[in-house]
Chains A and B, each alone.
Chain A
Amino acid sequence: MSEREERVELTVDGETIAGRAGQSIAGVLLAAGRTHWRSTAAGGRPRGLFCGIGVCFDCIVTVNGVRDVRACQRRAHDGDVVLVQGPQDEGRAGEEP
């Protein structure tokens, strides 16, 4: 089977989402009908894809424990554990991890 046809499965905040090998994490999320994932630090506003080419950082997610990964740039791998980032991850409120 060529890479084009392979399937990958990610968990996003615990939910399993299937995609195609070669897709970006944002591509997998969008194809699954999710238009937004992150929420902003101050206003808790929903954000998802904006520039699509790694410039705006609106799409960042935590992948396998590493934060601030641009979902539009990172290729999805089978078994990736994705967490969406929200105000609690941004240190604004002075909270400890």
Chain B
Amino acid sequence: MTSAVMDAHHSEAHHEPAKGIKRWLYATNHKDIGTMYLVLSLVMFLTGGVMALIIRSELFQPGLQFIAPNVFNQMTTMHALVMVFGAVMPAFVGLANWMIPLMIGAPDMALPRMNNWSFWILPFAFLMLVSTFFMPGGAPASGWTMYPPLVLQTGDAFPFLIFSVHLLGISSIMGAINIIVTIVNMRAPDMSLLKMPMFVWTWLITAYLLLAVMPVLAGAVTMLLTDQFFGTSFFLAAGGGDPVMYQHIFWFFGHPEVYILILPAFGVVSEIIPTFARKPLFGHDSMVYAASSIAFLSFIVWAHHMFTVGMPLTGQLFFMFSTMLIAVPTGVKIFNWVATMWRGAMTFETPMLFSLAILFLFTIGGFSGLMLAIVPADIQYHDSYFVVAHFHYVLVPGSVFAIMAAVYYWLPKWTGHMYNEKLGKVHFWLSTVFINVTFFPMHFLGLAGMPRRIPDYSTQFTDFNAIASVGAVGYGLSQLLFVYVVVQCVRGKGEKASSEVWDNPKGLEWTVPSPAPYHTFEVPPKISSSSTFS
């Protein structure tokens, strides 16, 4: 394999990046594509954030102030679609593109042209999705879960919604194939599977999850399409179909999707904590097994999203128990991180701060997840703000914080300059305070009986909603600071970064200069015992 890699590289080796727009349009370099993914993700994050702020402004006080109820529903639907498929997933794919070749000592991704495709599909998919706001009937307003029959009431946007979901799926599948092939075939010669860094491991598992469930989502939305336009009745009771079946198929995709959004975050945390604790990751192998069992369990818990649809008793019990079981491997991961910190010599640079916040706040999301597993209690929590609080606690201080931690951690490697540590820390503290101000009160709202996805509410929910809205505005504005810090770093305003960047970090990515040259590891590296922790 080694010689194959080298041969393959003779023809294109050492050529410099093309100039101007062509460099990006025809990009096949994993670093360029990674950068494009990350930029797109940031744009989508801000877009989805604006929608969130519109939602929170409307909910600041009872009564309708700004938008009509149907526009509100479009906002919640698009916020979710944009954040899940536009912000979080592309960000992790971008990180994978940048870092996986650097971490396993590969010269590039295995399938660079497919890589170009899988990226360039995305901007068009999102343009199409966002353009639905201007169509008769407006943007999709049936929630990102797209439950029939409601989703079939979507106006002209409907086929565009389905088609953009198809495109997003194709992009994800191509990305996943690329990542798997890269990891399996292009590791440096001495890097056995169990020696792989955790970020690579979690991405390998994530890629298999993507490959397994994105096509199922594509199937489900295709059935919606044919139900709407071609007279089938997959989900229409009148023709012998069943709307609940859609929910089963959707969540068969949807629950693994949750882990697609969080496993790479686990990987990031597993990279960062050892570096700043100056101590090897505790229980590397058990982390791999934990991530794999989480992935496996994610296929048999889907109906815990549907405890109120009317399921046989045995079904309810099965899905309750299997869901509770997920707490075990998730706990193992948390405990292993704590053990990694234990008796280390910690310093608290921005990436470490974000990782520590993940440990605390993701765990809170995990606790509410465990509570949601209990069927009788779930009947009360379901579709209330308690659920909104829960999944924002796992997605924002879980996935989004991990993405930001990763950006701060690897930004000096990408740009060759340190970011402004002081501003980074300010960004961290603002984000962490405001995220709690935003989402913690939602637990109370849900328990007190406020349903989710409503544009207006009864007056007893006023105070916590007002607090949440203030927090959301604060969190949103704080992210502008993040943009500023990143832009300044990219523009080379910080001090020069060494190739190691941090205090003796482990991993192959720290053996190449900062900024990482356009082509790296054209000759596979030798792995010395000092460059990995295991």
Task: Tell me, yes or no, whether A binds B.
Answer: no
Chain B residues close to A by CB (< 8 Å): none
